[in-house]
Homo-oligomer: A and B are copies of this chain.
Amino acid sequence: MTYCVGIMLDSGMVLASDSRTNAGVDQVATFSKMTVFERHRERVIVLLSSGNLAMTQAVVNALRHQAHLEGGHEHIMNTPSMFGAATLVGNALREVQQRDGPYLLQRNIEASANFILGGQIAGEQQRLFTIYTEGNFIEATTDTPYFQVGEIKYGKPIIDRVINAHTPLTEAAKCVLISFDSTMRSNISVGLPIDLLIYENDSLRVGIQRRIKEHDSYFDMIHSQWGEGLKKVFAELPPPHWQD
């Protein structure tokens, strides 16, 4: 499993992904699920991926390969819009599926992949998309300013409770780490390290990019104080006084 989340706020974006992959409980490994395409002061495009690892790695490789080919074609490093970037990811995914799909199907493997794509290209506002396994996609709006992929349920309530468009970036980063903590507590197939990236709106460069590993002091503090805080709130709520 995987957990990725991207949140778009007035002040910028917070994007994060875990890095645990597994093909059965006896085949657990660490792979980053965050890819950054950046040209300083011109574009920052962050891709978070979940699903079949062969498929998502093939998509990332195709995007990089296209960007290095000679010729006047559109690619992730020259497309003029985030919509164009989302289309390129969807197209790459469809090509991989066309190539690998029949061989997977022969062994009854239904491989899927989902992406979150966030960032900004000069001349446009920052934008956030999620790309489905069919290659189509939707864009976040102020009504729904975030996307999750993978194991989404455990970490969703805290985002719904505290995030809105005016939340400061550092508060959103704190919320994202609580969301990861809740997810990792309940699903052992989501695990550290967490790749976390903070993008400041209109900066057109990566702000903070941080890999949160085991024994990270801030994450450890979040983990213990959040748990203690919840228990305290629980203890302070009065029990029911229903009559037999």
Let me know if B182 and A242 touch, CB within 8 A: no
**A72: Cβ under 8 A from any B Cβ:** no
Chain A interface SS verdict (over half): helix
Give the residue among A162, A186, A233 with the most B Cβ atoms within 10 A: A233
Contact of A23 with B by CB under 8 A: no
Q: Is A227 an interface residue (CB 8 A)?
A: yes
Question: Which of the residues B158, B226, B237, B242 comes within 8 Å of A210, measured between beta carbons?
Answer: B242
Copies of this chain present in the complex amount to: 2
Contact, CB under 8 Å: A237 / B226: yes
| 1/0 contact string of A155-169 vs chain B (CB within 8 Å) | 011101110000010
Inter-chain contact A208/B160, CB cutoff 8 Å: no
| Distance (whole angstroms) from the CB of A169 to the closest CB of chain B | 9
| Chain B: minimal CB distance from A222 (Å) | 6
Contacts of A173 in B (CB 8 A): 239-240
Q: Tell me, in angstroms, the Cα distance from A8 to B178 when the chains sit together.
A: 29
Does A161 lie within 8 Å of B227, measured CB to CB? Answer: yes
Which among A156, A173, A236, A242 has the highest number of chain B CB atoms within 10 Å? Answer: A242
Residue positions of A touching B, CB distance < 8 A: 153-154, 156-158, 160-162, 168, 170-171, 173-175, 177-178, 182, 185-186, 198, 207-208, 210, 218, 221-222, 225-227, 229-234, 236-240, 242-244
